Structure 1
């Protein structure tokens, strides 16, 4: 007999939730795939888990958005009930999900995770697990009390390039890891998009150090099989916000506002029609086939120069690890290209790789290899697979683990993030902004105490 399908409830009808979880669960009944990769990196590809998974509920504050999304589905998708956040407990009673998927704005993750755990559900949370270290510790305590399970979608581990690097490090190709260098660049379109979304407020995102950098911090933590110990960092707001370096002014020195901003501002001109930035005073672009009506209100327009922005748009950090290894990490959110340069140095050699794409999303030269540079042997170029839907092919591999049986490779490489790893990625991200704010070294364990 066929195994019964697992029942999934999704909290937060974000673009990421639609592309990464809901459409693959619905499979062939889901209709159009929505945004495929593109500047925001969403993409469901051709995944179909409808034989093993069933969508039983959606929880979101924006009920018109939920209704608009459900109206795009064919009758064969069945009836999916919608609930508001205050009724999540009732949803669990009514719909009897097995798994709660959390894809809300980051500040709300902890409440949904704990609600699921307290009702005996398995939880899958979008990264970051939480927006603060204190919330992460509360989740750890709830897991300890309930014996429940939380899986966090740290998908960068799953790209073929990173899996190959992990294998090389595990096999001793560069000896004991001493240093890691990671220089990350977010292009002017993608970077600017964070500053017209909820991410621009620390109270909702924990800052980009948590929302975005926990991606990168988790990747390094996993590659070198270590946890961060202390963080020293600097950072500031320079490109965006009211004193943004490229904010246009009129002849009298007053900031250009309203519709004229789109004509005079380099970010809006670069973004162009159909881009990720809303027209000044216009509707927020969704990135999927359904608009937001609550989270982004037309009567409350946002621009990348608003006073409300209270996070950094560039920062650098020195992160010390328990083993004595160190990470030199930097990121900026206004770059002429998107991607990163990653170097891992050990006692016996180095691994070097680069991934980059231009503003139109086209791969740049050199993406298809890892350079192995032994200390006392000839260097070697290792060809790696690139491309594929959803974060360079990471999302489909991650979904196979989430909705199916984890592969032998997944177990061997530890592709699924543990609860502690997810918590330390959040805490290290928070330590970056706290160190930048105070000028002091921050001990990561202190934030989780």
Structure 2
């Protein structure tokens, strides 16, 4: 029996990890302890899962006590991003398997600390990069591996986040760089890891531009320059375009977002003791960027052209990967219930470099969160890696570190207006060419 403790009872912890352990993988996995800084979150967890009523609970400074009393094999880290480093290092000190939600940490320096600690530990780190497991993303990996487009020369990835999802980051703790690393880390590490994994190349250098275009005190849709407003009590919300875009007062739309697990962010305020997830998106304290464009150079010759925008009319991405034998393209629209127009089914299109017709590749889609990727990831985590899969997919500390370093390189490049060397950010004394296996 795999004995598991969970650090941080976030919505992801409850809705993805604990629910799956209790209801799907309980024959070989058991939650034996939970930890959170907020007693209200512990109460919600135990109310949601009667199986955990008698499971002991702890606060953050009782981590070692929890380990000593529950004797776990695995630590799941789903707390606020900046606290990941503490639980990961303590888990490795106790020679445990540590499964952490992305981003692994919020700073490249902390990523280096994790790799060094893992090297000295009998434990290991697994980063839950579920985007890798999306059926389309796995198919793209397979096309590259089989040489369909030859040697990859460049990648164009443009990511779009709609006004509902994008604004949500600025209502919550994510808007504070000290807590999240900024959105080039909290969100974009997903994207950078995906490209790193597809290419099987290490990023060497990044240059970026970025800006705060939509949110913060200078947001042009700010009803007034007033601080400390909250959506649930704001007297100006009917004048806020971001609020009213998703309000049933104007639109008869059932808003649902699997990152938030609530009909609206402000309604979830009661789920916390001293935290409001409905802060105003125009507060003066907001200073992280909401728009980026970046170029990344890789060690085997490939380039990445990347952009992300956190306030757009619809959500999804456009991807093109160019190689010496051809090009593949795909476009995905996320959350179609929030898109006010019909969207085509996602396919992958292959264009040969010399002659031949365009090939349209249809991918078998599966149910579950993040485009069908979550259930496959959870199977690898709690049943063991699929031995029939011909390529590695589960991510470890090295993958987590490179994604963090690119994300930090992006926002630092924006601030310093210069290219950032990835290895300079990591300041690594660890041999990155010899990553510790996680499967």
TM-score > 0.5, shorter chain as reference: yes
Give the drift of 1:199. Answer: 0.5
Mapped to 2, the partners of 1:121 and 1:323 lie a distance apart of 34
Specify the SS of the correspondent of 1:244: coil
- TM-score, normalising length: structure 2: 0.89
Residue 376 of structure 2 is matched in structure 1 by 397
The answer as to 2:31 corresponding to 1:55 is yes
Mapped to 2, the partners of 1:171 and 1:69 lie a distance apart of 45
Mapped to 2, the partners of 1:338 and 1:326 lie a distance apart of 24
Residue 417 of structure 1 is matched in structure 2 by 395
Residue 293 of structure 1 is matched in structure 2 by 273
Mapped to 1, the partners of 2:133 and 2:408 lie a distance apart of 24
Residue 32 of structure 1 is matched in structure 2 by none
The equivalent position to 2:222 in structure 1, one of 233, 238, 247, is 247
Is the 1:336–1:359 Cα contact (8 Å) retained in structure 2? Answer: no
Is the 1:15–1:286 Cα contact (8 Å) retained in structure 2? Answer: no
Describe the shift of the 1:11–1:21 C-alpha distance in structure 2 as closer, same or farther (beyond 3 A): same
Residue deviations 1:63-106, cap 9 Å, x none? 122113212333x5551111000101100001111100000111
Give the drift of 1:238. Answer: 1.1
Specify the SS of the correspondent of 1:65: helix
Give the drift of 1:419. Answer: 1.9
1:406-445 pair list within 5 angstroms: 406-410=385-389, 412-445=390-423
Residue 41 of structure 1 is matched in structure 2 by none
The answer as to 2:304 corresponding to 1:322 is no
The equivalent position to 1:186 in structure 2, one of 161, 167, 173, is 161
Specify the SS of the correspondent of 2:371: coil
Specify the SS of the correspondent of 1:180: strand
Q: Which runs of 5+ in 1 are unaligned?
A: 28-47
Is the 2:3–2:71 Cα contact (8 Å) retained in structure 1? Answer: yes
Specify the SS of the correspondent of 2:337: coil
Deviates more, 1:358-367 or 1:208-217: 358-367
Mapped to 1, the partners of 2:74 and 2:156 lie a distance apart of 37
Is the 2:412–2:420 Cα contact (8 Å) retained in structure 1? Answer: yes
Is the 1:175–1:348 Cα contact (8 Å) retained in structure 2? Answer: yes
Is the 1:66–1:82 Cα contact (8 Å) retained in structure 2? Answer: yes
The equivalent position to 1:347 in structure 2, one of 324, 337, 345, is 324
Mapped to 1, the partners of 2:273 and 2:226 lie a distance apart of 31
The answer as to 2:208 corresponding to 1:213 is no
Describe the shift of the 1:254–1:199 C-alpha distance in structure 2 as closer, same or farther (beyond 3 A): closer
1:49-128 pair list within 5 angstroms: 49-74=25-50, 76-77=51-52, 79-128=54-103
Give the drift of 1:256. Answer: 12
The answer as to 2:129 corresponding to 1:169 is no
Specify the SS of the correspondent of 1:413: coil
Residue 13 of structure 1 is matched in structure 2 by 9
Is the 1:163–1:413 Cα contact (8 Å) retained in structure 2? Answer: no
Q: Which runs of 5+ in 2 are unaligned?
A: 249-253, 428-439
Mapped to 1, the partners of 2:150 and 2:387 lie a distance apart of 24
Describe the shift of the 1:109–1:323 C-alpha distance in structure 2 as closer, same or farther (beyond 3 A): same
- TM-score, normalising length: structure 1: 0.87
In the comparison of the two structures, how many residue pairs are matched?
Answer: 412
Residue 38 of structure 1 is matched in structure 2 by none
Is the 2:320–2:327 Cα contact (8 Å) retained in structure 1? Answer: yes
